[in-house]
Amino acid sequence: AQSVTQLGSHVSVSEGALVLLRCNYSSSVPPYLFWYVQYPNQGLQLLLKYTTGATLVKGINGFEAEFKKSETSFHLTKPSAHMSDAAEYFCAVSATSGTYKYIFGTGTRLKVLA
């Protein structure tokens, strides 16, 4: 069984500040991990994914995430927030075999302050 916990349903940062969105997962098998972004009235767009290999994963729009097995975490970071980063972010976990269905976290709404 798998689950995802996103700490903080709302996060506010100032423009230019570090963005840190937290995600912890639980999985009985080695996981695939994903971050998605959703802008208002749009679908979800893949930011980055961890499947195997390098634990520091770089994605689009300057985001990156680090897979830490010992901490069961996959936190999303961006060094400098931009106004256009305001959106909702979802962490997801899937098994590495079988149906590959994703279990999503409840989402974190990021607000960027001018």
Total of chain residues touching another protein, rule CB under 8 A: 22
Query: x/- string (CB under 8 A) for another protein, residues 49-68?
Result: x-x-----------------
Selected from 1, 40, 42, 84, the binder of another protein by CB under 8 A is 42
Residue type, 43: G
CB of residue 17 to another protein, shortest distance in Å? 27
The string of DSSP codes covering 5-64 is: EEE-SEEEEETTSPEEEEEEEEESSPEEEEEEEE-TTS-EEEEEEE-SS-SEEE-GGG-E
CB of residue 61 to another protein, shortest distance in Å? 15
Cβ distance 46 to 63 under 8 Å?
no
Query: x/- string (CB under 8 A) for another protein, residues 93-112?
Result: ---x-xxxxxxxxxx-----
CA 62/CA 35 separation, integer angstroms: 13
The binding site for another protein (CB under 8 A) comprises 32, 34, 36, 42-46, 49, 51, 90, 96, 98-107
